[in-house]
Amino acid sequence: MKDEDIERPPAMKVRQGIQDAMTYSLPDKKFNPKNIDLVEIDIGLNNLGWNFNNLRILNLTDIHLGQWINPEYLEELVDYVNTLNVDLITLTGDYFSYNLEDYDKSLEKSLKKLEAPYGKFGVLGNHDHWMSAEKIRTIFKSADIVDLSNDVHTLQMGEDYLNLCGVDSSTVCADNIDEVIAKMRQDTPSILLAHEPDFAKESSQTKKFDLQISGHSHGGQFIIPAVETTPFRGPNSTKYPVGLYKVGEMTQYTSKGLGTNSFRIRINCKPEITIITLKTTKRRKIKIE
Protein backbone atom coordinates (compact mmCIF):
# COMPACT_ATOMS: atom_id res chain seq x y z
CA MET A 1 0.00 0.00 0.00
CA LYS A 2 1.49 3.35 -1.07
CA ASP A 3 1.48 6.50 1.05
CA GLU A 4 -0.84 8.32 -1.39
CA ASP A 5 -3.46 5.54 -1.16
CA ILE A 6 -3.96 6.01 2.59
CA GLU A 7 -7.14 7.61 3.85
CA ARG A 8 -6.15 10.16 6.51
CA PRO A 9 -8.16 11.84 9.26
CA PRO A 10 -9.30 15.41 8.43
CA ALA A 11 -7.36 18.58 9.35
CA MET A 12 -3.90 17.04 9.77
CA LYS A 13 -2.27 20.51 10.01
CA VAL A 14 -4.63 21.48 12.86
CA ARG A 15 -3.85 18.21 14.65
CA GLN A 16 -0.14 18.93 14.25
CA GLY A 17 -0.63 22.42 15.74
CA ILE A 18 -2.55 21.05 18.71
CA GLN A 19 0.17 18.45 19.24
CA ASP A 20 2.91 21.11 19.33
CA ALA A 21 0.93 23.45 21.61
CA MET A 22 0.17 20.71 24.13
CA THR A 23 3.72 19.38 24.14
CA TYR A 24 5.43 22.75 24.60
CA SER A 25 3.22 23.45 27.63
CA LEU A 26 4.66 20.45 29.47
CA PRO A 27 7.14 21.38 32.23
CA ASP A 28 8.85 18.05 33.02
CA LYS A 29 10.04 16.04 30.05
CA LYS A 30 12.79 13.96 31.68
CA PHE A 31 12.81 10.18 31.50
CA ASN A 32 12.68 8.46 34.87
CA PRO A 33 12.36 4.66 35.13
CA LYS A 34 10.28 5.16 38.29
CA ASN A 35 7.52 6.63 36.13
CA ILE A 36 7.49 3.56 33.88
CA ASP A 37 5.58 0.36 34.48
CA LEU A 38 8.07 -2.41 33.67
CA VAL A 39 5.68 -5.32 33.13
CA GLU A 40 7.35 -8.73 33.24
CA ILE A 41 5.19 -11.69 32.32
CA ASP A 42 5.72 -15.35 31.49
CA ILE A 43 3.73 -16.71 28.58
CA GLY A 44 3.55 -20.42 27.82
CA LEU A 45 3.67 -21.46 24.17
CA ASN A 46 2.51 -24.86 23.09
CA ASN A 47 5.22 -26.87 21.39
CA LEU A 48 7.88 -24.23 21.93
CA GLY A 49 11.24 -25.95 21.59
CA TRP A 50 13.38 -26.12 24.71
CA ASN A 51 16.03 -24.00 23.00
CA PHE A 52 13.57 -21.07 23.11
CA ASN A 53 12.47 -21.65 26.69
CA ASN A 54 13.11 -18.46 28.72
CA LEU A 55 13.62 -16.28 25.61
CA ARG A 56 13.09 -12.70 26.78
CA ILE A 57 11.21 -10.42 24.38
CA LEU A 58 10.98 -6.71 25.15
CA ASN A 59 8.16 -4.79 23.47
CA LEU A 60 7.97 -1.05 22.95
CA THR A 61 4.90 0.55 21.44
CA ASP A 62 3.17 3.88 20.79
CA ILE A 63 6.20 6.11 21.25
CA HIS A 64 4.35 8.98 19.52
CA LEU A 65 7.68 10.84 19.37
CA GLY A 66 7.33 14.62 19.48
CA GLN A 67 4.10 14.50 21.42
CA TRP A 68 5.00 14.57 25.11
CA ILE A 69 7.93 12.23 24.46
CA ASN A 70 10.86 14.30 23.21
CA PRO A 71 14.07 13.00 21.58
CA GLU A 72 16.12 13.26 24.82
CA TYR A 73 13.50 11.28 26.73
CA LEU A 74 13.56 8.57 24.07
CA GLU A 75 17.36 8.39 24.12
CA GLU A 76 17.38 7.92 27.88
CA LEU A 77 14.63 5.33 27.60
CA VAL A 78 16.72 3.42 25.04
CA ASP A 79 19.76 3.54 27.36
CA TYR A 80 17.55 2.09 30.10
CA VAL A 81 16.18 -0.64 27.81
CA ASN A 82 19.76 -1.61 26.93
CA THR A 83 20.43 -2.35 30.62
CA LEU A 84 17.59 -4.90 30.78
CA ASN A 85 19.47 -7.71 29.01
CA VAL A 86 16.73 -9.02 26.77
CA ASP A 87 17.18 -11.39 23.83
CA LEU A 88 14.93 -9.77 21.29
CA ILE A 89 13.10 -6.46 20.83
CA THR A 90 9.73 -5.97 19.19
CA LEU A 91 8.09 -2.68 18.23
CA THR A 92 4.35 -2.50 17.61
CA GLY A 93 3.82 0.83 15.90
CA ASP A 94 2.81 4.48 16.21
CA TYR A 95 6.31 5.95 16.30
CA PHE A 96 4.88 9.41 15.52
CA SER A 97 1.60 11.28 16.04
CA TYR A 98 1.07 14.08 13.50
CA ASN A 99 4.58 15.36 12.94
CA LEU A 100 7.33 13.29 11.36
CA GLU A 101 9.64 15.81 9.68
CA ASP A 102 11.00 17.33 12.93
CA TYR A 103 11.63 13.98 14.62
CA ASP A 104 12.59 11.36 12.01
CA LYS A 105 16.36 11.69 12.59
CA SER A 106 15.89 11.37 16.36
CA LEU A 107 13.79 8.22 15.99
CA GLU A 108 16.35 6.71 13.66
CA LYS A 109 19.20 7.47 16.07
CA SER A 110 17.39 5.98 19.08
CA LEU A 111 16.11 2.85 17.33
CA LYS A 112 19.61 2.25 15.95
CA LYS A 113 20.98 2.31 19.50
CA LEU A 114 18.60 -0.42 20.76
CA GLU A 115 20.52 -3.64 21.41
CA ALA A 116 19.20 -7.21 21.22
CA PRO A 117 21.29 -10.29 20.32
CA TYR A 118 18.43 -12.02 18.44
CA GLY A 119 17.43 -8.88 16.59
CA LYS A 120 14.85 -6.11 16.44
CA PHE A 121 11.51 -6.56 14.71
CA GLY A 122 8.74 -4.07 14.02
CA VAL A 123 5.38 -3.31 12.47
CA LEU A 124 3.64 -0.02 11.71
CA GLY A 125 0.63 1.62 13.33
CA ASN A 126 -2.14 3.80 11.92
CA HIS A 127 -0.28 7.07 12.68
CA ASP A 128 2.78 5.79 10.82
CA HIS A 129 0.68 5.29 7.70
CA TRP A 130 -0.94 8.70 8.12
CA MET A 131 2.56 10.25 8.30
CA SER A 132 4.52 8.15 5.81
CA ALA A 133 4.91 4.38 5.88
CA GLU A 134 7.69 4.68 3.30
CA LYS A 135 9.76 6.99 5.52
CA ILE A 136 9.32 4.74 8.54
CA ARG A 137 10.37 1.71 6.55
CA THR A 138 13.53 3.63 5.56
CA ILE A 139 14.19 4.34 9.26
CA PHE A 140 13.68 0.64 10.05
CA LYS A 141 16.30 -0.31 7.45
CA SER A 142 18.83 2.17 8.75
CA ALA A 143 18.23 1.06 12.37
CA ASP A 144 18.55 -2.69 11.55
CA ILE A 145 14.92 -3.36 12.38
CA VAL A 146 13.34 -6.22 10.44
CA ASP A 147 10.10 -4.90 8.95
CA LEU A 148 7.46 -7.57 9.66
CA SER A 149 4.59 -5.82 7.84
CA ASN A 150 2.65 -8.80 6.46
CA ASP A 151 5.86 -10.78 6.73
CA VAL A 152 7.54 -13.58 8.66
CA HIS A 153 11.03 -14.14 10.05
CA THR A 154 11.75 -17.62 11.32
CA LEU A 155 14.29 -17.98 14.10
CA GLN A 156 16.21 -21.21 14.51
CA MET A 157 18.05 -22.46 17.57
CA GLY A 158 19.46 -25.97 17.31
CA GLU A 159 16.65 -28.04 15.91
CA ASP A 160 13.92 -25.68 17.18
CA TYR A 161 12.10 -22.98 15.20
CA LEU A 162 9.99 -19.96 16.11
CA ASN A 163 7.97 -17.87 13.62
CA LEU A 164 8.05 -14.14 14.29
CA CYS A 165 5.21 -12.73 12.22
CA GLY A 166 3.75 -9.29 11.73
CA VAL A 167 0.65 -7.80 10.21
CA ASP A 168 0.39 -4.25 8.90
CA SER A 169 -2.08 -1.76 10.40
CA SER A 170 -5.71 -2.86 10.18
CA THR A 171 -6.99 0.69 10.87
CA VAL A 172 -5.82 1.70 7.40
CA CYS A 173 -6.71 -1.71 5.87
CA ALA A 174 -3.03 -2.53 5.18
CA ASP A 175 -3.30 -5.92 6.96
CA ASN A 176 -2.99 -9.12 4.93
CA ILE A 177 -3.10 -12.15 7.17
CA ASP A 178 -3.28 -14.58 4.22
CA GLU A 179 0.07 -13.29 2.97
CA VAL A 180 1.53 -13.85 6.45
CA ILE A 181 0.18 -17.39 6.70
CA ALA A 182 1.53 -18.26 3.24
CA LYS A 183 5.04 -17.28 4.40
CA MET A 184 4.97 -19.11 7.74
CA ARG A 185 6.98 -22.20 8.47
CA GLN A 186 4.30 -24.80 9.14
CA ASP A 187 3.83 -26.63 12.46
CA THR A 188 5.98 -24.05 14.22
CA PRO A 189 5.18 -21.98 17.33
CA SER A 190 4.28 -18.48 16.14
CA ILE A 191 4.11 -14.96 17.53
CA LEU A 192 2.24 -12.20 15.71
CA LEU A 193 2.93 -8.47 16.06
CA ALA A 194 -0.23 -6.48 15.31
CA HIS A 195 -0.57 -2.80 16.23
CA GLU A 196 -4.33 -3.02 16.82
CA PRO A 197 -5.27 -5.46 19.62
CA ASP A 198 -8.73 -6.25 18.26
CA PHE A 199 -7.03 -7.86 15.28
CA ALA A 200 -6.86 -10.83 17.68
CA LYS A 201 -10.44 -11.69 16.67
CA GLU A 202 -9.22 -12.37 13.15
CA SER A 203 -5.79 -13.81 13.89
CA SER A 204 -7.06 -16.24 16.55
CA GLN A 205 -9.60 -17.69 14.12
CA THR A 206 -6.80 -18.81 11.81
CA LYS A 207 -5.44 -21.00 14.65
CA LYS A 208 -1.95 -20.25 13.32
CA PHE A 209 -0.69 -18.02 16.14
CA ASP A 210 0.08 -18.78 19.78
CA LEU A 211 0.59 -15.18 20.91
CA GLN A 212 -0.29 -11.74 19.55
CA ILE A 213 1.46 -8.63 20.90
CA SER A 214 -0.21 -5.23 20.41
CA GLY A 215 -0.41 -1.61 21.55
CA HIS A 216 -2.58 1.19 20.09
CA SER A 217 -4.95 1.61 23.06
CA HIS A 218 -2.56 3.43 25.47
CA GLY A 219 -4.50 1.42 28.08
CA GLY A 220 -7.33 3.92 27.64
CA GLN A 221 -5.08 6.25 29.73
CA PHE A 222 -7.25 5.31 32.72
CA ILE A 223 -7.37 1.92 34.39
CA ILE A 224 -10.02 1.16 36.98
CA PRO A 225 -8.21 -0.12 40.10
CA ALA A 226 -8.96 -3.73 41.12
CA VAL A 227 -10.81 -4.45 37.86
CA GLU A 228 -7.64 -3.62 35.89
CA THR A 229 -9.45 -2.61 32.75
CA THR A 230 -10.47 0.65 31.12
CA PRO A 231 -13.80 2.18 30.12
CA PHE A 232 -12.11 4.29 27.40
CA ARG A 233 -11.83 2.20 24.30
CA GLY A 234 -11.06 3.60 20.88
CA PRO A 235 -11.54 2.02 17.47
CA ASN A 236 -9.84 -1.37 17.15
CA SER A 237 -9.16 -1.63 20.87
CA THR A 238 -12.67 -2.13 22.22
CA LYS A 239 -12.37 -5.84 23.00
CA TYR A 240 -8.79 -6.22 24.23
CA PRO A 241 -7.70 -2.75 25.44
CA VAL A 242 -5.20 -3.62 28.16
CA GLY A 243 -3.24 -6.58 29.47
CA LEU A 244 -3.55 -10.29 28.99
CA TYR A 245 -6.43 -12.15 27.28
CA LYS A 246 -7.17 -15.59 25.98
CA VAL A 247 -8.80 -15.36 22.54
CA GLY A 248 -9.74 -18.85 21.45
CA GLU A 249 -6.51 -20.79 21.82
CA MET A 250 -4.35 -17.69 21.31
CA THR A 251 -2.87 -15.45 24.02
CA GLN A 252 -3.31 -11.71 23.42
CA TYR A 253 -1.14 -9.15 25.17
CA THR A 254 -1.96 -5.43 24.87
CA SER A 255 0.60 -2.94 26.21
CA LYS A 256 -0.35 0.44 27.66
CA GLY A 257 2.35 1.93 25.42
CA LEU A 258 4.77 4.77 26.09
CA GLY A 259 3.24 7.97 24.73
CA THR A 260 -0.17 9.27 23.88
CA ASN A 261 -1.66 11.05 20.91
CA SER A 262 -4.03 13.22 22.91
CA PHE A 263 -3.93 14.64 26.44
CA ARG A 264 -1.00 13.47 28.51
CA ILE A 265 -3.14 12.49 31.47
CA ARG A 266 -2.72 8.85 32.53
CA ILE A 267 -4.57 7.70 35.65
CA ASN A 268 -3.44 4.41 37.21
CA CYS A 269 -2.01 3.77 33.75
CA LYS A 270 1.73 4.43 33.65
CA PRO A 271 3.64 4.24 30.38
CA GLU A 272 4.76 0.65 29.85
CA ILE A 273 7.78 -1.36 28.80
CA THR A 274 6.88 -5.04 28.52
CA ILE A 275 9.18 -8.03 28.91
CA ILE A 276 7.62 -11.33 27.90
CA THR A 277 9.50 -14.48 28.87
CA LEU A 278 8.51 -17.41 26.70
CA LYS A 279 7.95 -20.70 28.47
CA THR A 280 7.60 -24.06 26.82
CA THR A 281 4.74 -26.30 27.86
CA LYS A 282 6.51 -29.27 26.28
CA ARG A 283 7.82 -32.05 28.44
CA ARG A 284 11.55 -32.57 28.20
CA LYS A 285 12.61 -35.89 26.80
CA ILE A 286 14.83 -37.73 29.24
CA LYS A 287 17.12 -40.37 27.95
CA ILE A 288 16.92 -43.56 29.99
CA GLU A 289 19.96 -45.71 29.51
Name the residues that contact Fe ion, by CB under 5 A.
Answer: 94, 125-126, 216
Which residue number, 120 or 216, has a Cβ lying nearer to Fe ion?
Answer: 216
Helix/strand/coil (H, E, C) string of the chain? CCHHHCCCCCCHHHHHHHHHHHHHCCCCCCCCHHHCEEEEEEEEECCCCHHHCCCEEEEECCCCECCCECHHHHHHHHHHHCCCCCCEEEEECCCECCCCCCCHHHHHHHHHHCCCCCCEEEECCHHHHHHCHHHHHHHHHHCCEEECCCEEEEEEECCEEEEEEEECCCCCCCCCHHHHHHHCCCCCCEEEEECCHHHHHHHHHCCCCCEEEECCCHHHHECECCCCECCCCCCCCCCCCCEEEEECCEEEEECCCCCCCCCCCCECCCCEEEEEEEEECCCCCCCCC
Which residue number, 49 or 197, has a Cβ lying nearer to Fe ion?
Answer: 197
Which residue number, 208 or 266, has a Cβ lying nearer to Fe ion?
Answer: 266
Name the residue with the smallest CB distance to Fe ion. Answer: 216
Which residue number, 171 or 251, has a Cβ lying nearer to Fe ion?
Answer: 171
Min CB(93)–Fe ion separation in Å: 6
Which residue number, 9 or 17, has a Cβ lying nearer to Fe ion?
Answer: 9
Min CB(27)–Fe ion separation in Å: 26
Min CB(200)–Fe ion separation in Å: 15
Min CB(126)–Fe ion separation in Å: 5
Min CB(195)–Fe ion separation in Å: 6
